[in-house]
Amino acid sequence: MPAALQRADGPVAAAWVRERLDGDLAYDRGAVPAGFVTGLTADDERLLRGLLSEAEGS
């Protein structure tokens, strides 16, 4: 458990935790979407790319 959570008196908001992590996150933000996309089938990846492309154009 991260030290920030050990210092909490009870449930806390994500912003509270981020303030106490001092930018020391265990992952890079890009790794999360990359891991998601890696698990997609080829058809799902094409569908996602198409939806993202449409959203960029709006």
Closest to 52 (Cα-Cα) out of 33, 27, 31, 38: 33
Give me the pLDDT at residue 5, please.
Answer: 74
Q: d(Cα 52, Cα 11) in Å, to the nearest integer?
A: 35
Give me the pLDDT at residue 21, please.
Answer: 75
pLDDT tens figures, 1-58: 567 778 888 888 888 887 887 665 666 766 667 777 888 899 999 998 899 898 888 6
Give me the pLDDT at residue 36, please.
Answer: 79
pTM above threshold 0.75: no
Give me the pLDDT at residue 32, please.
Answer: 65
Give me the pLDDT at residue 44, please.
Answer: 92
